Structure 1
Amino acid sequence: MDWLREHAWETWLALSIGLGVLEMFSLDFVLLMLAAGAAVGMIAALLGLPLILQVLLAAGAAVLSLAVIRPTVVKRLHQGPELQLGHAKLIGQRAVVLEEITSTQAGLIKLDGEQWTARPYDESLAIAAGEAVEVLEIRGATAMVHPVPRLES
């Protein structure tokens, strides 16, 4: 027991490193938070604090990091970007009308570098060539579009 008191900071360091290595196998961030608590215990030992205080500080830091830091880290890790594939990625994009679009006749638009057949989302509208439109929906191979108001400068 005397050896442990004399080499407390080395023991805390070994515990912290061991928990950090084990975390690499679990990838759950629990052991990493315990390793952070052991690091606080090592700092307390280096400052010459009594063993009971080292243990209390290490436990408090571990519990605090488990309660505060881990949920945020896990949430950010699992959040990631939303991946849109196929037609879903075209919704909301802007396009340029190549051929006039009316309620009775489909026209062409240039959308994402490709030509698409398009119809007006609001069937009472006619959209002239050269106008900017926004894709509101994809029905089959036809884009349902609505004109984008021009900003006057």
Structure 2
Amino acid sequence: MTWMTWLIIAIVLGIIEMLTIEFTFLMFAGGALAAAIAGGFTDNVAIQIIVFALVSTILLFTVRPWARRMIDQTSPENRTNVDSLPGQIAESLTDVTARGGRVKLDGEVWSARTYGSPIPEGSIVVVSRIDGAHAIVELR
């Protein structure tokens, strides 16, 4: 295989990485680039494949974990769906007790419970957590 073939493989792997964003294909692309460099010095395909495998493996076990940690540390936590509800303000539509009640939360009506004293209808509450289909609320 020529160095140009390895370069094309590296580009294809880089494009796949852009679609997955997991850094795995990027490490293989680095291995393909190293194999392209080896292909510039030798026509021996076995050496090129060994260089590809070695560099890809080294990158997968050294650079990828470091890159994942860096991304995880610098990315803000984006809570979505039910994970974004704790801390939100709601209005009690009925009396809320330990047995049940209803609150208007984020434009929707939710079943609610409180573990403290009963909350009267019309009170402003804060969601402390979500337990199944129930919002656990407390007075604001």
Band the TM-score falls in, shorter-chain normalisation: 0.3 to 0.5
Which is higher, the Rg of structure 1 or of structure 2? 1
